[in-house]
Amino acid sequence: MKTLIIEGFLKLVALLPLALARAIARGLAKLLVLFNNDISRITSLNLAMTQPQLDAAELKSLSRKSMASTMVNAFEMPIIWQKNDDWLERKILAVENDQLMRAALAEAKGVIVICPHIGNWEVFGRHLPSYGPTTNLYQPPKLVAVENIVRRGRERSGASLVPTNQRGMAALLKALKRGEITGILPDQVPQPNSGEFTDFFGKPAYTMTLVHKLVKKTRCKVILGYALRVKGGFKIVYQVAPEEIYSEDQLSSVKALSQMVEMAIEDDMAQYQWAYKRFKAQPEGLHDPY
């Protein structure tokens, strides 16, 4: 019954016009603030920890904007999963620094595109295959019905999805060696022994070492990319990766990866997924802030 309800809700939301879905989501976000649920609590805590330069009023305002963005994203995703490429192309209103992607691909060494959880990463994931064959890491949700909707949506534009295990890593490596594109979401807490602690807005965050390992094995190019929400649709943005991402030293490379996430956030702080427990893994001697 739970699966049927969720599946029905996702299909219903997918029928909404984008503007109406955004309006409903923003209204729901205002209600969540009143109840101080986990989304509200974690968002406020993460912002307070990482943005100490802001006063109480600024933090409160930013937290509410971030919660609205989180809810809007949740309502946009079912729409993105269901719409065709023509609809999506009309909703992508601008692409900044498109030449960075094309230049990186022209080197034929493969390209890792780092896409933090900012704006709408489902839009970005469907945009990437417009440049060529694309392989993305994928961790399926627990509910089978939801998994089917998500998988079909993410593959709708031609991306190949691979699991977050050794088989998936091998597929990413092969794709890069063929000179293709891989998309990686870099800002979730990795599995034990798969990361390093590095600075993220002044706090230690356990960060994946996967990108460093792939770069070391393939000498591929790395680009930062994401899709920000704008009035009427979305804006795709590409940025140059810090040179240290290519460092032979693992920690230096991981620091550069964390810096790339910060670069994206500084473009629009309110659109980042601050509701995620980014600091739940802590170095020995420090407690879980959640």
Over 90: is that where the pLDDT of 274 sits? yes
* pLDDT tens digit sequence for 83-92: 999 999 999 9
* pLDDT tens digit sequence for 10-49: 889 999 999 999 999 999 999 888 887 899 999 999 999 9
* Predicted pLDDT of residue 22: 97
The pTM assigned to this predicted structure is 0.94
Q: Per the domain annotation, does 19 fall within a domain? A: yes
* Predicted pLDDT of residue 141: 75
Rounded Cα gap, residues 126 and 158, in angstroms: 8
* pLDDT tens digit sequence for 46-64: 999 999 999 999 999 999 9
Q: Per the domain annotation, does 278 fall within a domain? A: no
**Res. 166 pLDDT band, cuts 50 70 90:** confident
* Predicted pLDDT of residue 269: 98
Q: Per the domain annotation, does 14 fall within a domain? A: yes
Contacts of 77 (CB under 8 A, 6+ apart): 120, 122, 153
Task: Find the domain containing 110 and state its range.
Answer: 2-271
Name the 3-class secondary structure at 253: helix
| 88, two tokens | 């999506």
Buried-exposed string 47-86: b where 16+ CB fall within 10 A, e elsewhere: beebbeebeeeebeebbbbbbbbbbbbebbbbbbbbbeee
* Predicted pLDDT of residue 185: 95
Q: Per the domain annotation, does 73 fall within a domain? A: yes
Q: Per the domain annotation, does 81 fall within a domain? A: yes
> How large is the average pLDDT for residues 247-273?
98
* Predicted pLDDT of residue 111: 98
| 5, two tokens | 């309800």
Our count of domains for the chain comes to: 1
How far apart, in Å, are the Cα atoms of 21 and each of 43, 149, 177, 256?
22, 18, 41, 36
> How large is the average pLDDT for residues 81-104?
96
**Res. 146 pLDDT band, cuts 50 70 90:** confident
β-strands 160-163, 181-184 pairing: unpaired
Is the CB of residue 228 less than 8 Å from the CB of residue 214? Answer: no
Q: Per the domain annotation, does 285 fall within a domain? A: no
Over 90: is that where the pLDDT of 134 sits? yes
Q: Per the domain annotation, does 213 fall within a domain? A: yes
Q: Per the domain annotation, does 283 fall within a domain? A: no
